[in-house]
Amino acid sequence: MAVRQQDAERVHQVAQAKFGYEKLRPGQQEAIISLLQGQDTLAIMPTGAGKSAIYQIAALLLPNPTIVVSPLIALQNDQVQSIQQHDIAAAVLNSALSSTQRQATLEAFAAGELKFLLLAPEQFNNEETLTHLSAAQPSLVVVDEAHCISEWGHDFRPDYLKLGAVLETLGHPVTLALTATASPPVRAEIVQRLSLREPYMIVQGFNRPNIHLSVERFESEGAKRDVLIERVVAAVKADYAPGIVYTATRQGAEEISQALNEYGVRAAYYHAGMKKAERDVVQEQFMADELEVIVATIAFGMGVDKPNVRFVFHLDISDSPDAYYQEIGRAGRDSEPARAILFYDPQNLNLRRFFAASGQIDIEQVEQVANVLQEHDGPVEPQEIADITELSQGKITTAIHRLEEVGALETAPNGEAIATVSELDVNEAAAAAAQAQERHQMFQRSRVTMMQEYAEGRGCRRTYLLNYFGEEFQAPCNYCDNCDMGVALQLEAATGEQPFPVNSQVAHKEWGEGQVLRYEADKIVVLFDSVGYKTLAVALVCENNLLTACS
């Protein structure tokens, strides 16, 4: 991207005069200028890299107001307060507002009295909201936590799927998608779901060199639990706190929290089964250092930016490297040394594989949904489909996603579905959608396998994770257990023939095209577009010509 001197000067002037920035961080200026040049932009930058400054500065250099889509009310409030501190008109639109406040906010935005409006994606279900937003002719739409739109992502939120239709309704203004971590398939889905037009992509380094990575293996759940508690108690006694412990289940969070309290550790649990007010109290206590440890399911974390977290321990293996890296990335944001330990019992993989296979739909169920759409002349609400078919909301949501994926229907900003052709070929559409679902589940299962390989691998753990995200990194990192023991360097030295360059495109007769992620000893790891991650023996690849280079 060519950067004109006058654009750079305008950006620097606003950054300094309005926000007090003497110098922008890496990636910020090019992202801002990309937006000013009318280019859709996907910025993948770690927490603390100043993602919000990108849209705040760009918005002040654009003529019309900016819409910021953010998933949590707490995040929205923090962002609005940050903007208002600089005497810039900004407001939130969420369920906490009264009808009078809501109407006044929408009218102010439509009249151009606000520079920023922050809202969650479910707010677009209201047609009146869309009308007011369209009237403002926004110059920029920001999708924060953009990985939430991806079913390959670690925090998928169905409400994000409607954003593509929302952008179309708004006339597709320049769009900025922001996320802290996104593997190659997640990036591709963000671009596709938002219909980003030849987006400019900025990827800042994923490496967090101050976090020590390690795995401890166990053959029984009881032994694993006891050692985790021992490690947490020792860390707290050594003043190596606060910390986060992640568990796969709500019961696990409650039991570990209780056990830690019995050892004198100030701990509390956090999960989605608690009332919101209870969760808020626990989070506030943790942020204020009133708790030494929070024991949580994956419900905890988004929007939490606590610099001094010294450790993140996982009692159970995560379902993907995406989720694991996002969670351990909550440690050491102050750049001081931190630790991430995975307490690994191979039996836990069965639970993760079960979750990866959940949400299954068959052709008959897809046909039921397709038949309802065929019998209606116009849009159909998901609840109406549920009433007619008696299928669960989860299965209906999955069926709609898959039918949309194969081009058999479209969804409106309010979530309604409509057939894209007058005579929907039910059998063909259902078969294609079922195949799409099978591909999705194969991909999910492959990511569980990737976590298994991380846990059981003898190579540099940092290299493994960074390669997963498409970032080249040469072992050793000298800050993981395998590097500490010297086995990672031995494995690196044993790595032999590399028939295809890392990050190059290859093709397999059955699995289609894919990208070479890394080599480890005598194995090659490839991310295939259709079936996910596969680990192959290099010797077999060469002997049988299993892979060919894509031109």
90-127 pLDDT, tens digit each = 999 988 889 899 999 999 999 999 999 999 888 888 88
Helix (H, G, I), strand (E, B) or coil at 149: helix
Query: How high does pLDDT run on average in the chain?
Result: 87
Where in the chain is CATH 1.10.10.10?
A: 363-440
Highest averaged pLDDT of the listed ranges 154-168, 170-184, 233-247, 386-400: 233-247
- Residue 477 has a pLDDT of 93
pLDDT at 423 over 60: no
Where in the chain is CATH 2.30.30.140?
A: 495-551
Confidence of residue 285 (pLDDT cuts 50, 70, 90): very high
Which carries the bigger pLDDT value, residue 473 or residue 166?
A: 166
For residues 304 and 287, give the distance between their C-alpha atoms in angstroms, rounded to a whole number: 8
pLDDT at 388 over 70: yes
Confidence of residue 417 (pLDDT cuts 50, 70, 90): confident
pLDDT at 419 over 90: no
pLDDT at 350 over 80: no
Tens of pLDDT, residues 306-330 = 999 999 999 999 988 988 998 999 9
Percent over 70 (pLDDT), the chain: 94
pLDDT at 413 over 60: yes
Least-confidence region, from 247-261, 427-441, 462-476: 427-441
Confidence of residue 358 (pLDDT cuts 50, 70, 90): low
Confidence of residue 479 (pLDDT cuts 50, 70, 90): very high
User: What is the b/e burial string over 150-182, where b = at least 16 CB atoms within 10 angstroms of the residue's CB?
Assistant: bbbbbbebbbbbbbbbbbebbebbbbbbbbbbb
Give the orientation angle of helix 28-36 with respect to helix 51-60, to 10 degrees.
40
CATH fourth-level superfamily of 211-354: P-loop containing nucleotide triphosphate hydrolases (3.40.50.300)
Query: Considering the entire predicted model, what is its pTM?
Result: 0.79
Please compute the mean of the pLDDT values over residues 179-193 and round it to a whole number.
Answer: 87
**What's the CATH code, domain 363-440?**
1.10.10.10
- Residue 152 has a pLDDT of 63
Which carries the bigger pLDDT value, residue 541 or residue 311?
A: 311
pLDDT at 425 over 80: no
pLDDT at 34 over 90: yes
Element (H, E) at 439: helix 426-456
- Residue 393 has a pLDDT of 79
In 3D space, the residue among 332, 322, 260 whose CA is nearest the CA of residue 296 turns out to be 260
Confidence of residue 357 (pLDDT cuts 50, 70, 90): low
In this structure, which amino acid lies at residue 15?
A: A
- Residue 467 has a pLDDT of 86
Where in the chain is CATH 3.40.50.300?
A: 5-203, 211-354
**What's the CATH code, domain 495-551?**
2.30.30.140
For residues 111 and 135, give the distance between their C-alpha atoms in angstroms, rounded to a whole number: 8
- Non-local (6+) Cβ contacts of 264 within 8 A are 233
φ, ψ dihedrals at 510, nearest 5°: -95, -40
For residues 439 and 434, give the distance between their C-alpha atoms in angstroms, rounded to a whole number: 9
Number of CB atoms found within 10 A of residue 306's CB? 17
**What's the CATH code, domain 5-203?**
3.40.50.300
Confidence of residue 446 (pLDDT cuts 50, 70, 90): confident
